[in-house]
A = this chain, B = another copy of it.
Amino acid sequence: MRLATLRDGTRDGRLVVVSPYRPDGAGGIHVAREADTPPSLQAALDDWDRVAPALAALAIRLASGELTGEPLDAARLGPPLPRAYEWVDGSAFLNHVRLVRKARGAEPPATLETDPLVYQGGSGVLLGPNDDIRVDDPSWGPDFESEVVVILGDVPQGTRAADAGHHIRLVTLCNDITLRYLVPDELGKGFGFFQSKPATAFAPFAVTPDELGDAWRDGKLHLPVVTTLNGAVVGDPSAAEMHFGFPRLIEHIARTRAFTAGTILGSGTVSNADRARGISCLAERRTIEQIETGRAVTAFLQPGDEVTIEARGGPFGTIRQRVVEGSGA
């Protein structure tokens, strides 16, 4: 099934079931809910085993045409979880790690291929698919990072990868916006990212893994993730090149603590060793320029720039964001 959250003035928004993905877009997108549909996606995740069958039944009625639903009002689309209890982001595309560290003159960790890299992100304020990227100071170097994410059910401490797959409730995409020029000083302080990671944006539709069919295998999304900047495709690398699948990332994060339903876990920036597939963040293009010509010339995002992210042939819909100067406060 395919789920979305519509803004309705509440903190968590309103959960709706969305008509199935059709590659040709025929018939448009319709949404539905019933009197007993949980108010929000978080409420559904809190009680998943009990409520998922009814959500799935509603999705089947929308798919069969038995129920028409209402046309989706795209202007109301929020992120699937407007606020989440945790947002943990991996960095599981090793080509990205190798390139970005090379550009900073840093070695990748010695355990790169055996020990996943993750960081704890901020999760209390998340952005919808069409929300502006607001930066008070464009000289902070805003950049996009196109990623695959999963939304988890309750995960016990000590969960192993072999048992982790069934804790994955939903799959979607995100734009893990990064303020590049704030990164070096912040990592230099030794405590990881903080100010350099402003609010993350999410694709409109979160889907159960079964909705992906063959495109979900080995705990990885087997689709290209296409990023555009001001209308031009900058990359379409395959998300299947993820070195650690999500079950292995779950084992890693659950080694010393448990996670509550609604935790979001990310893949890290999608990146392929084949340079013809392009990039999913400008930092990577700058790194390649540095390696190939000795000088990075690509600028980071500027006010007015528009970024889109979607999975080709995938059901997540499109992240489409413009960069705007000012906090909006």
Contact present for A189 and B158 (CB under 8 Å): no
> In the complex where A11-B46, A125-B260, A156-B329 touch, is A195 in contact with B109 (Cβ < 8 A)?
no
Report copies per complex. 2
Mark contacts of A1-28 with chain B using CB atoms, 8 A cut-off: 1 yes-contact digit, 0 otherwise: 0000000000100000000000000000
Q: Which residues of B contact A156 (CB under 8 A)?
A: 327, 329
Q: Which residues of B contact A262 (CB under 8 A)?
A: 124
Q: Would you give the shortest CB distance from A131 to chain B, in whole angstroms?
A: 12
Complex Cα spacing A257 to B187, Å = 18
Contact present for A195 and B260 (CB under 8 Å): no
Q: Which residues of B contact A237 (CB under 8 A)?
A: none
In this assembly, does A83 line the interface, its C-beta being within 8 Å of a C-beta of chain B? yes
In this assembly, does A48 line the interface, its C-beta being within 8 Å of a C-beta of chain B? no
Contact present for B124 and A259 (CB under 8 Å): yes
Contact present for A189 and B136 (CB under 8 Å): no
Q: Which residues of B contact A329 (CB under 8 A)?
A: 156-159, 258
Contact present for A109 and B194 (CB under 8 Å): no
Q: Which residues of B contact A46 (CB under 8 A)?
A: 11
User: Smallest CB-CB separation from A196: which chain B residue?
Assistant: B256
Q: Which residues of B contact A313 (CB under 8 A)?
A: none
> Which bracket fits the contact residues of A?
35 or more
Q: Which residues of B contact A328 (CB under 8 A)?
A: 157
User: Smallest CB-CB separation from A12: which chain B residue?
Assistant: B46
User: Smallest CB-CB separation from A255: which chain B residue?
Assistant: B195
Mark contacts of A233-276 with chain B using CB atoms, 8 A cut-off: 1 yes-contact digit, 0 otherwise: 00000000000000000001101111110110000000000000
Identify the stretch in A33-41, A115-123, A206-214, A317-325 within 8 Å (CB) of chain B at 4 or more residues. Answer: A115-123
Selected contact of A187 from candidates B86, B159, B190, B253, CB within 8 Å: B190
In this assembly, does A65 line the interface, its C-beta being within 8 Å of a C-beta of chain B? no
Selected contact of A257 from candidates B86, B115, B159, B199, CB within 8 Å: B199
Q: Which residues of B contact A85 (CB under 8 A)?
A: 83-85, 123-124
A-B contact pairs, 28 of them (CB 8 A): A11-B46, A83-B260, A85-B124, A86-B122, A86-B124, A88-B122, A109-B188, A119-B191, A119-B194, A120-B121, A123-B123, A125-B258, A125-B259, A125-B260, A134-B157, A136-B157, A136-B255, A136-B256, A140-B256, A156-B329, A191-B192, A192-B192, A192-B193, A195-B253, A196-B256, A197-B256, A197-B257, A198-B256
Given A179-B256, A195-B255, A197-B256, 17 other A-B contacts at CB below 8 A?
A85-B85, A109-B190, A117-B191, A118-B191, A120-B120, A122-B259, A123-B123, A124-B262, A125-B257, A136-B157, A140-B256, A157-B328, A159-B329, A192-B193, A195-B252, A195-B256, A198-B256
Binding site for B on A (CB under 8 A): 11, 46, 83-86, 88, 91, 106, 109, 111, 115, 117-125, 134-136, 140, 156-159, 179, 182, 187-199, 252-253, 255-260, 262-263, 327-329
